[in-house]
Amino acid sequence: MAKLSIQSARKSYGEMPVLQDVSIDVDEGAFVVLLGPSGCGKSTLLHAIAGLHPIDSGRILIGDNDVTQLAARDRDVAMVFQSYALYPTMTVADNIGFPLKMRGTNKVEARRQVDEVARLLQIEPLLARYPRELSGGQRQRVAIGRALVRDPKLFLFDEPLSNLDAALRTDLRAEIKRLHQTIRRTMVYVTHDQIEAMTLATKIVIMSKGVVQQAGTPAEIYHEPVNLFVARFIGSPAMTLLKGRIEPLTSGYGFRIANGDGDALSDAIHLPNSDVLRALQGRELLVGARPENVDVSASSSAGPTAVVDLVEPTGPDDIVTLKIGSQTSIVRRPAGAVSQGQMVRVHFPADKVMLFDPASGQRLL
């Protein structure tokens, strides 16, 4: 087990930068997920940690050792790939034990370690089979077992569940989480799936265009996004965002939602007094709130008026699309709470509201 430190890492392919001054610290025993859309640089960063792709500048430290210039085989890391990378002519036992064979471990000890890993992953009945006789989920368990038997300082996972169907992804995701809780080893995991990130990680690093946008616990990322990219990328449905301006009210301040014709809706979102809001008066901003934090009522007389444009049942909840003036808001409400075509009032709790600068994307409140 070891900590990991990436310091000002940069990487380009020709004229295209893929890592731009990336710095990340990973504590011993942490489960860190690199999350972002395709092409954001997360896999390149993982491969750089593994030593498969050298960085152009910066440093990578595993434990107290600077491994920036070391070959992949000398870094004491184990990687699990999306494609499993199993040897088709070897049995499951031989695939798992292959790193031990390369290390020169005697056969008795190697078999003991293979059996121990197989018990941990619950694949003992598969040890005599070949990869072609396994399901996708079983193959990925074998790939994880081969990484485990190496007993490395650091485990790296490159989208290991993306080739599996939804049910298998759910099952294996839970197994990976239990595995981490059991062995308490440092793990770095790449995915574009926010559900995987939120359920597995002790720390999430969100990337876009080679830049770290935010790093924090799943709760911090979800409830306290630092910019519009994070606010929009995390959450399903994504954060509801509306254009408007801050105006003084009799008590405190209000956010008046723009109506698309130069006017603002008469009913404002009430906000408390603060020096921040005073300084933002008159500026065009975006107000944001998580869909589950927006209240919708047909009986209330306060808050902006909206029309229920669409209701999408999901079982216990409905995903509700609202038309507020010329803008659209998507919220999550209990099943059957509203119906399509209904006129409602919308309430944004002041303690759940965020304000963003639409030009820079930075969060202001």
Tens of pLDDT along 185-226?
A: 999 999 999 999 999 999 999 999 999 999 999 999 999 999
Model confidence over 292-343: pLDDT tens digits?
999 999 888 788 999 999 999 999 999 999 999 999 999 999 999 999 999 9
Boundary residue ending a domain (211, 233, 255): 233
- Percent of the chain whose predicted confidence (pLDDT) is above 90: 87
The CA dihedral of 228, 232, 233, 236, to the nearest 10 degrees, is 160
Distance from C-alpha of 313 to C-alpha of 61, rounded to nearest angstrom: 48
Do 144 and 187 sit in the same domain of this protein?
yes
Full-model pTM: 0.93
From 233, 262, 296, give the residue that closes a domain: 233
Q: Are residues 254 and 210 in the same domain?
A: no
Residue of 46, 69, 19, 22 lying closest to 155 (CA atoms): 46
Answer yes or no: do 213 and 253 share one domain. Answer: no
Here the CATH number for the domain that contains residue 333 is 2.40.50.140
- 3 state SS of 231: helix
Same domain, 219 and 255: no
Residue 364 counted as domain residue: no
Do residue 228 and residue 245 come from a single domain? no
Q: What is the residue type of 12?
A: S
One domain, residues 203 and 63: yes
Residue type, 19: L
Looking at the structure, do residues 120 and 54 belong to the same domain, yes or no? yes
Question: Considering the domain boundaries, does residue 189 fall inside one?
Answer: yes
The last residue of one of the domains, among 233, 267, 284, is: 233
Q: Is there a single domain that holds both residue 27 and residue 152?
A: yes
Can you read off the two tokens belonging to residue 101? Answer: 């064979």
- Residue 247 falls inside a structural domain: yes
User: pLDDT tens-digit profile of 180-189?
Assistant: 999 999 999 9
Looking at the structure, tell me whether residues 131 and 192 fall in a common domain: yes
Please indicate, yes or no, if residue 361 is contained in any of the structural domains. Answer: no
pLDDT of residue 100: 96
**pLDDT tens-digit series, residues 37-78:** 999 999 999 999 999 999 999 999 999 999 999 999 999 999
Task: Give the tens place of pLDDT for each residue, 273-294.
Answer: 788 999 999 899 999 999 999 9
Smallest CA-to-CA distance from 89 within 144, 127, 130 is with 130
* Predicted pLDDT at 236: 92
Is-contact 80 158, C-beta < 8 A?
Answer: yes
In a domain, 228, yes or no: yes
156 inside domain: yes
In a domain, 363, yes or no: no
Dihedral, CA atoms, 72, 73, 78, 84, nearest 10 degrees? 80
Whether residues 187 and 251 share a domain: the answer is: no
Is residue 301, in this structure, part of any structural domain at all?
A: yes
Question: Vertex 180, ends 174 and 183: CA angle to 5°?
Answer: 135
Domain encompassing residue 129: 4-233
| Structural domains in the chain (count) | 2
Q: Can you tell me the distance from the alpha carbon of 108 to that of 147, in angstroms, rounded to the nearest whole number?
A: 19
Residues 38 and 161 in one domain: yes
Give me the CATH number covering residue 63.
3.40.50.300
Q: Do residues 187 and 289 both lie within one domain?
A: no
What single DSSP character describes residue 80? E
Q: Is 317 helix (H, G, I), strand (E, B) or coil?
A: strand
